[in-house]
Chain A
Amino acid sequence: AIRMTQSPSSFSASTGDRVTITCRASQGISTYLAWYQQKPGKAPKLLVFAASTLQSGVPSRFSGSGSGTDFTLSITYLQSEDFATYYCQQYYSFPPTFGQGTRLEIK
């Protein structure tokens, strides 16, 4: 199975900041990568698919990039509702696998 490694595992930031989360695949996955946001007690929500395509309804302050093995999720001008845990997922090959998650906390 392809291993997905996110960094950092957690970090703190302030509203208005720009933040970047990285995700690395153990082998090339082209752009078959998705990003999810999960808030406490809630189900995950799809933010980005195909590495850089925003899911309908997701604010434009979110953006994804990358291909092959290295990917990033960026959030410009952090809002209070953005503090959550973020997961990457590869769907290039079976079984689909998730990163371990990045917890974004308020500074």
Chain B
Amino acid sequence: QLVESGGGLVQPGRSLRLSCAASGFTFDDYAMHWVRQAPGKGLEWVSGISWNSDNIGYADSVKGRFTISRDNAKNSLYLQMNSLRAEDMAFYYCAKSKVDGLLTSPLDSWGQGTLVTVSS
């Protein structure tokens, strides 16, 4: 099970930190991802992190502004979002890689999503 938190209303240019609490599987065996979906739009991969944090990737649209991290001792995934823009407004989903340790993999478990609204 994956449960996101930390979403909410934030002004453009401000920061927000999302969290994802994982349970029901061995968290530190799997790469994890953030995927977002603007209201009424399609899915956009945002960022991914390998099981040991050695491999990290970002979409070009968020590179330099967002930082993904994980704490395996706490079974938790994070997304620090800085310099937020109107186009970052979306539901943010935490998702688990299906394959052990592989950063690029199908995503076989998703959280319910947390909504980030960027508006003044």
- Among A43, A46, A55, A94, find the residue whose CB has the most chain B CB atoms closer than 10 A: A43
The answer to whether B106 and A46 have CB atoms under 8 Å apart is: yes
Closest CB in chain B relative to A22 CB, distance in Å: 16
The answer to whether B57 and A49 have CB atoms under 8 Å apart is: no
* Interface of A, helix, strand, loop or mixed by DSSP: loop
Is B85's beta carbon under 8 Å from chain A? Answer: no
Contacts of B59 in A (CB 8 A): 95
Contacts of A87 in B (CB 8 A): 42-43
Contacts of A32 in B (CB 8 A): 104
Interface size of A in residues (CB-CB distance below 8 Å)? 26
Is B11's beta carbon under 8 Å from chain A? Answer: no
Is A71's beta carbon under 8 Å from chain B? Answer: no
The answer to whether B107 and A98 have CB atoms under 8 Å apart is: no
* Contact code string B28-68 (vs A, CB < 8 Å = 1, else 0): 00000101000000111100100000000111100000000
Interface size of B in residues (CB-CB distance below 8 Å)? 23
Residues of B62-114 at the interface with A, using a CB-CB cut-off of 8 Å, are 93, 98, 103-108, 110-113
Closest CB in chain B relative to A87 CB, distance in Å: 6
The answer to whether A46 and B107 have CB atoms under 8 Å apart is: yes
Contacts of B45 in A (CB 8 A): 95-98
The answer to whether A34 and B103 have CB atoms under 8 Å apart is: no
Which of B44, B57, B104, B112 is within 8 Å of A98, CB to CB?
Answer: B44
The answer to whether A94 and B57 have CB atoms under 8 Å apart is: yes
The answer to whether B108 and A95 have CB atoms under 8 Å apart is: no
Closest CB in chain A relative to B111 CB, distance in Å: 6
CA A93 – CA B102 in complex, angstroms? 12
Given contacts A43-B112, A49-B98, A95-B57, contact A34 B43 (CB under 8 A): no
Is A52's beta carbon under 8 Å from chain B? Answer: no
The answer to whether B57 and A91 have CB atoms under 8 Å apart is: no
Contacts of A92 in B (CB 8 A): 104
Is A39's beta carbon under 8 Å from chain B? Answer: no
Q: List 9 A-B contacts (CB under 8 A).
A: A34-B106, A43-B93, A43-B112, A44-B107, A87-B42, A89-B107, A95-B60, A96-B48, A98-B42
| Top 4 A-B residue pairs of the complex, sorted by shortest distance between their CB atoms | A43-B110, A34-B106, A49-B106, A98-B43
